[in-house]
Chains A and B, each alone.
Chain A
Amino acid sequence: MSERKIRIMVAKPGLDGHDRGARVLARCFRDAGFEVIYTGCHQTPEQIVAGAIQEDVDMVGLSCLSGAHRYLFPRVVELLRERKADDITVIGGGIIPDQDFKMLYDAGIKEIFTPGASLDSIVDWVKSHIKPRA
C-alpha cells in the first residue's frame, strides 16, 4: 500500500568538525518518523546538492558553526536552482547572528534555527511545512 515518507538530508558544510548538534538533530528527525540521510562534516555545497538529488530528499537541513553560513547556505540554494531541484526546501541552523537572517531568507533559506530553538520546535516546523512531493 502506498505511503509517503519524508526524507531529509542533514549536512554540515564548512570547516568546523563539531557535528554533535547535527547528530542530535538527525536522531530527533528519525524519532519523528522521517528518513534521515546523514552525510557528516566538511561538506561542500556541491557535494550536498549532488547528494540531495541522488537521495531524492524533500528537505536539506544545514548546520554551520564556523560563521561561513553567509556564503555556504545561499550557495546550496543557488546550486539546487541550477540543477532544477529548488523544490527541495533548505533550512539552516547554527550560530547565526540576527542581522544575517534577512539576507539568508532573501537568498531562499526557508527557516533558520539558532542554538536556543528546541528540537521539538524544529520537528514541528518540518511537520507543518514539508509535504513529501507528489
Chain B
Amino acid sequence: MNNDKDEVQRIREGDVRTASRLIRNLEDHMPEAKSTIRRIFPHTGKAHIIGVTGSPGAGKSTLTDALIESYRKQGKTVGVLAVDPTSPFTGGAILGDRIRMQRHAEDAEVFVRSLATRGALGGLSKAVGDAIHVLDAMGKDVIMVETVGTGQQEVEIMNHSHTVVVVLVPGMGDEIQAMKAGIMEIADLFVINKADRDGTRQLQTLLMAMLDMAPEFPGGWRPPIIKVENVFDAVTFKGQVGELAEKIDKHYRHLVENQLLGDRLRRKSLVEINEALSACLLEPVLRDLVSSGELERMLDKIVRKECDPYSLAEEATKPYLK
C-alpha cells in the first residue's frame, strides 16, 4: 500500500498530525493501524525511554515538565506519553497532565500525548508500547512515560523503558504500596519529591535500608536517591532536576558500558511479544464469540453454574489451536 508507506515516511519526518492520528488508531484498535505499526518497528530503537511512576499527586508531571526543559537545553528532542485512569463507571477520562507541560506546547521538538487507561482487558501496556514506537520513529531522542504507579499494570508499562524513575513523597506510605506492587524492584532511580516535607529523612533511611538488603545490583548499579523540592526557589529546583537528568543519563551509559542494554531490550521484547501474542490469540476469539452471541450464552451458563469458565474457555479456543 503506497499510502501506508507515505504515512510511515511522514512520521519519520516528524509529522505530528500523522503520528498523533496513528497513536489514536492504535488505541482504538483500528485494523489499518496494525500494518502501519509493523512498518514503523524497523525504524525504532534509537530513543532513550524513561519511565516515571509514582502515586497520584506525587509530582510526576511537574518533574517531567522540568526534565523536558533540561533536555531541550541540551538540544535533545523529547516525546512524552502521560497516562491517566479511565473512569470505570462511564468509560470517560480527564487527562490533566498537560496542564503542567503546556509551556512546551509550541516547541516543535516536544510532543506530549495523553493516554487513558481504557478497558480492563490489559491492552494498556500494549497501547503504550505502540505509542512509544511511534515517537521513537519520529526521531525523538528522549521519550518519557508517566504512569500512576499503583499496580501490576505499571510494572508492565515500565518494562517498556530503559530507565525507571520511581517518585515517592514523604509521609504518604507510598513506598509500602509500591513495594507490594513490585515497583521498588524495577526502580533504577528514586526521587524523594516534595523533600521540603516532614518525613523526608525517614523515607530516605527506609530506602537506604531496603537497598542495603538487596542481594546484588545488576552490573553494580545501586539506584541513587535524589531529593527534589519545588517550593523554595526555582534555582534549587532546577539544580536538583539537573542532577536527576544527569543520573538518568548515567544510568543509560551504565547499561551500555556494561553490556546490560541487551538484557533490558530482551525484557522489553518479552513484554512486546507477550502482548502481541495475546492480541493475536484473544482478539479473533473474542470477536467471534461476541458476533455469534456465544459470549452472552457463556455468561448465562456461568451465572447459572451450568458450566465453569475454564471448560468453556477451553472448548471455545479449541478450533483456533489446531
Q: Does A55 contact B (CB under 8 A)?
A: yes
Instruction: List chain A residues, Cβ under 8 A from B95.
Output: 35-38
Contacts of B90 in A (CB 8 A): 30-33
Contact stretch, chosen from A45-53, A69-77, A90-98, A105-113: A45-53
Residues B102 and A40 in contact, CB atoms below 8 Å apart: yes
Minimum distance in angstroms from B18 CB to a CB of chain A: 10
Verify A53–B16 contact, CB threshold 8 A. Answer: yes
Chain A's closest residue to B111 (CB) is: A54
Could you say which of A2, A26, A34 contacts B29, with CB atoms under 8 Å apart?
Answer: A2
**Chain A residues touching B, majority SS:** mixed
B interface, size bucket: 35 or more
CB distance from B100 to the nearest CB of A (A): 8
B24 within 8 A of A: yes
- Contacting A55 at CB < 8 Å: which of B86, B92, B114, B290? B114
Query: A26-B94, A36-B92 are known contacts. Are A1 and B106 too (CB-CB below 8 A)?
Result: no
Q: How far is the CB of A65 from chain B (nearest CB, A)?
A: 18
User: Once the chains are docked, how many angstroms separate the CA of A132 from the CA of B29?
Assistant: 14
- CB-nearest residue of chain B to A2: B29
Docked CA distance A84–B21 (Å): 14
CB < 8 Å: which of B23, B93, B286 contacts A30? Answer: B93
Q: Which of A47-69 contact B (CB under 8 A)?
A: 47-48, 50-51, 53-56
Alpha-carbon gap, A83 to B118, bound state (A): 29
Indicate whether A39 sits within 8 Å of B94 (C-beta atoms), given known contacts A1-B290, A47-B105. no
Cross-chain contact B94 with A5 (CB below 8 angstroms): no
> Which B residue sits closest to A23, measured CB to CB?
B94
Chain B proximity mask over A14-43: 1 for CB below 8 Å, otherwise 0:
000000000000110111111111111001
Q: Tell whether B99 is near chain A: CB-to-CB under 8 Å.
A: yes
Question: Least Cβ distance of B102 to chain A in Å?
Answer: 5
**Cα distance, A83 to B31, chains bound together (Å):** 27
Chain A residue at minimal CB-CB distance from B96: A38
Interface residues of B in 1-24 (CB under 8 A from A): 16-17, 20-21, 23-24
Instruction: Report the bound CA distance from A132 to B290 in whole Å.
Output: 23
CB of A35 within 8 A of CB of B96, answer: no
State how many residues of chain A have any CB contact under 8 Å with chain B. 35
Contact assessment for B112 and A54 in the assembled complex, using a CB-CB cutoff below 8 Å: yes
Q: Name the residue on B nearest A38 (C-beta).
A: B96
> Are the C-beta atoms of B106 and A39 separated by less than 8 Å?
no
Q: Is the CB of B92 within 8 A of A29?
A: yes
What chain B residues lie within 8 Å of A35 (beta carbons)?
86, 92-93, 95, 116
Q: Are the C-beta atoms of A4 and B28 separated by less than 8 Å?
A: yes
**Which residues of the partner chain B approach A84 to less than 8 Å between Cβ atoms?**
17
Compute how far the CA of A79 lies from the CA of B17 in the bound complex, rounded to whole angstroms: 14
Q: Is B29 in contact with A55, judged by CB distance below 8 angstroms?
A: no
Q: Given A2-B29, A50-B105, does the pair A36, B16 have CB atoms closer than 8 Å?
A: no
Once the chains are docked, how many angstroms separate the CA of A53 from the CA of B105?
A: 10
A85 close to B (CB within 8 Å): yes
Which A residues lie within 8 Å of B23 (CB)?
56
> Which residues in B have their C-beta under 8 angstroms from that of A83?
17
A132 to B, closest residue via Cβ: B28
CB distance from B68 to the nearest CB of A (A): 13
Q: Is the CB of A40 within 8 A of B92?
A: no
5 extra interchain contacts, Cβ-Cβ under 8 A, other than A36-B95, A47-B103, A53-B20? A37-B98, A38-B98, A39-B98, A47-B105, A55-B20
A-B contact pairs, 13 of them (CB 8 A): A2-B31, A5-B116, A7-B24, A30-B90, A31-B92, A32-B92, A35-B86, A36-B94, A39-B99, A53-B16, A54-B112, A83-B17, A84-B17
Q: Which residues of B contact A (CB under 8 A)?
A: 16-17, 20-21, 23-24, 27-31, 86-87, 90-96, 98-99, 102-103, 105-106, 111-114, 116, 118, 283, 286-287, 290
Going nearest first, the 6 A-B pairs with the smallest beta carbon separation are A30-B92, A56-B20, A40-B99, A47-B105, A50-B105, A2-B29
